[in-house]
C-alpha cells in the first residue's frame, strides 16, 4: 500500500540537504562578490592615491625643473653678458693711454683718426685744454650734440653736420677724453649716428700725463669734411623716447628695467641734482644704478666691466632682461650704456631722463627707496624747491 507520509519523509532529507547546500553557496557567492567589490574599491582608491601622489611628485618635480631651467637660463644669459674669463669684447671702446701712444708710434694700423678733448663750452671754458692736452687734440663742445631746455640729443642732421665740422666721418677713428661724463655723452651720440670706431681714453689727460707722455697747450682747429660716407642714424635702437618710457611704465613690462645712474640723494627725491631742474623723484620702479663717481677708480679710470656688473646686480639689476639706463639729461647714463654695448648686450638710453619726465604733471613718480620706504605720487604734486644749490 502506498504510504504518502513515508515518501515525503524520504524526500525531505535530501531536499533539505540540497537547500542547505544552495543557501551556503549563495551566501558564499554573496560574500565573494562583496569581498571582490570591496577589494576593487580599495584597489581603485589606492590607484587614485598613487595617481595623486605621482601627480604631486610630477608637479613638484616640474616646478623644480622649471626653476632650475630658469636659473640656468638666467645664469647662462648673465654669463654670456658678464664677460668673464672666456668672454670677448665685441666692440672695443674704452682704451688705455698706451693704446693711443702706440697709434702715435705707428705700432697700430690706424691712419685716419681724430683726437678730441670733450667738455661743455668752447675750448676757453675747458679746465684743461689750453693748459695741457694730448698733441693734435681738438676740442669738442657737448652743445654740438644736445640742446636745452630738455637737453635731449639734437636731430640726426644737426649732429652729423657737427661731426663733419670736426673733421670726422663714419670711417674715422675718434679718440675722445674729458674730465666728466660729457665724453661718454658725445661718444654715444657719435655711435648712434654711425661713427664706427669710437674710442674713449680711459683716465683721460691724467692717465696720459701719468705715463710721462708729451702734451701741448696750443689750440688745434679741425679740418671739416663734407661726406659722412654712410646712412645715418646707424643705431637708433639704442634710444628710448619719452612716449616709449611712459608705455613701458604703464604696462609694467617685466622684461624691461629702468636703471637710474644718479646720486642716492637724487634717487630718493631729496634733490634734483641740477640747478635748472626744480623737481625731484624717479620713474616708478626705477632701480638705483649708482652715480658717475661709482663708475670710476680713485685715479680717474673707469672701473672694470665685472666690477660694474657686480655693483648693479647687488641693486637688483637682472642682466637677462633689457636694461634701459637714464639719469638727469643723458650724460652719466651713457657710461654703462657704452660699457654694455662693448659686450654686445641689449642696452638702451632713455635720453630725456628725469628732466623730461618731470616736465609733465600727469606722470607718476616714485619717492624714497623701494627697499625700505617708498611713496607714489605724480609730478604735479611735487614741490618746486629741489634744484641743486649753486
Instruction: State residue 77's pLDDT score.
Output: 52
Would 60 be classed as within a structural domain? no
For 203, the domain range is 94-233
247 and 361, same domain (yes or no): yes
Instruction: State residue 3's pLDDT score.
Output: 40
Q: Could you tell me where the DSSP H helices lie in 110-234?
A: 156-165, 182-193, 204-210
Would 289 be classed as within a structural domain? yes
Would 352 be classed as within a structural domain? yes
pTM: 0.80
Q: How far apart are the C-alpha atoms of 358 and 269, rounded to whole Å? A: 12
213 and 266, same domain (yes or no): no
User: Which regions of the chain are under pLDDT 50?
Assistant: 1-43, 45-61, 63, 65, 67, 70-71, 75, 80-87
278 and 314, same domain (yes or no): yes
* Cα distance between the two ends of the chain: 147
- DSSP-assigned states of every residue in 89-109: -SS--EE-HHHHHHHHTT-S-
Would 31 be classed as within a structural domain? no
Residue with cell 701712444: 101
Structural domain tally of the chain?
A: 2
- Write the burial class of residue 30 (CB in 10 Å: 0-12 exposed, 13-18 middle, 19+ buried): exposed
227 and 242, same domain (yes or no): no
CA 45 to chain centre: 52
Where residue 158 sits, what CATH number does that domain have? 3.40.250.10
Would 101 be classed as within a structural domain? yes
Q: How far apart are the C-alpha atoms of 281 and 382, rounded to whole Å? A: 8
252 and 351, same domain (yes or no): yes
Q: Which grid cell is 318?
A: 637682472
110 and 152, same domain (yes or no): yes
Tens-place pLDDT, residues 108-147: 999 899 999 999 999 999 999 999 999 999 999 999 999 9
164, 198, 233 - which closes a domain:
233
Instruction: State residue 83's pLDDT score.
Output: 44
Instruction: Let me know how long the chain is.
Output: 390
Tens-place pLDDT, residues 338-382: 999 999 999 999 999 999 999 999 999 999 999 999 999 999 999
Q: Which grid cell is 148?
A: 636745452
100 and 220, same domain (yes or no): yes
Would 123 be classed as within a structural domain? yes
Would 192 be classed as within a structural domain? yes
E strand or H helix that includes residue 312: helix 305-314
Catalytic residues: 327
233, 250, 269 - which closes a domain:
233
286 and 363, same domain (yes or no): yes
187 and 243, same domain (yes or no): no
288 and 339, same domain (yes or no): yes
Burial 195-232 (b: 16+ CB within 10 A, else e): bbbbbbbbbbbbbbeeeebeeeeeebeeeeeeebeeeb
Q: How far apart are the C-alpha atoms of 207 and 26, rounded to whole Å? A: 107
Would 5 be classed as within a structural domain? no
211, 233, 255 - which closes a domain:
233
165 and 269, same domain (yes or no): no
Instruction: State residue 88's pLDDT score.
Output: 56
292 and 250, same domain (yes or no): yes
Instruction: State residue 390's pLDDT score.
Output: 78
Residue 288 φ then ψ, to 5°: -70, 120
Amino acid at each position: 500500500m502506498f504510504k504518502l507520509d513515508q515518501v515525503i519523509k524520504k524526500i525531505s532529507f535530501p531536499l533539505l540537504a540540497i537547500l542547505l547546500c544552495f543557501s551556503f553557496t549563495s551566501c558564499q557567492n554573496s560574500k565573494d562578490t562583496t569581498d571582490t567589490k570591496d577589494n576593487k574599491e580599495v584597489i581603485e582608491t589606492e590607484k587614485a592615491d598613487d595617481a595623486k601622489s605621482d601627480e604631486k611628485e610630477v608637479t613638484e618635480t616640474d616646478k623644480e625643473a622649471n626653476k632650475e631651467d630658469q636659473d640656468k637660463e638666467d645664469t647662462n644669459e648673465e654669463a654670456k653678458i658678464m664677460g668673464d674669463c672666456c668672454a670677448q669684447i665685441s666692440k672695443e671702446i674704452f682704451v688705455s693711454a698706451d693704446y693711443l701712444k702706440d697709434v702715435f708710434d705707428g705700432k697700430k694700423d690706424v691712419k685716419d683718426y681724430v683726437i678730441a678733448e670733450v667738455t661743455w663750452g668752447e675750448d676757453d671754458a675747458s679746465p684743461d685744454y689750453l693748459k695741457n692736452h694730448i698733441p693734435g687734440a681738438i676740442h669738442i663742445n657737448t652743445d654740438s650734440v644736445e640742446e636745452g631746455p630738455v637737453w635731449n640729443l639734437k636731430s640726426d642732421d644737426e649732429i652729423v653736420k657737427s661731426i663733419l665740422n670736426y673733421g670726422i666721418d663714419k670711417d674715422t677713428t675718434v679718440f675722445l677724453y674729458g674730465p666728466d661724463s660729457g665724453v661718454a655723452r658725445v661718444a654715444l651720440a657719435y655711435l648712434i649716428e654711425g661713427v664706427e670706431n669710437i674710442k674713449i681714453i680711459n683716465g683721460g689727460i691724467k692717465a696720459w700725463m701719468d705715463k710721462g707722455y708729451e702734451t701741448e697747450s696750443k689750440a688745434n682747429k679741425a679740418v671739416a669734411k663734407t661726406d659722412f660716407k654712410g646712412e645715418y642714424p646707424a643705431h637708433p635702437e639704442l634710444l628710448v623716447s619719452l612716449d616709449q618710457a611712459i608705455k613701458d611704465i604703464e604696462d609694467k613690462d617685466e622684461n624691461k628695467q629702468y636703471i637710474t645712474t644718479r646720486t642716492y640723494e637724487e634717487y630718493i627725491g631729496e634733490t634734483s641734482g641740477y640747478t635748472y631742474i626744480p623737481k625731484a623723484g624717479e620713474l616708478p620702479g626705477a632701480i638705483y644704478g649708482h652715480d658717475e663717481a661709482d663708475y670710476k677708480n680713485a685715479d680717474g679710470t673707469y672701473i672694470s666691466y665685472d666690477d660694474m656688473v657686480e655693483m648693479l646686480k647687488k641693486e637688483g639689476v637682472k642682466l637677462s632682461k633689457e636694461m634701459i639706463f637714464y639719469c638727469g639729461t643723458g650724460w652719466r647714463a651713457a657710461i654703462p650704456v657704452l660699457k654694455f654695448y662693448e659686450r654686445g648686450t641689449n642696452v638702451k638710453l632713455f635720453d630725456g631722463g628725469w628732466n623730461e619726465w618731470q616736465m609733465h604733471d600727469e606722470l607718476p613718480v616714485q619717492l624714497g627707496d623701494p627697499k625700505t620706504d617708498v611713496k607714489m605720487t605724480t609730478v604735479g604734486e611735487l614741490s618746486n624747491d629741489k634744484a641743486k644749490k649753486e
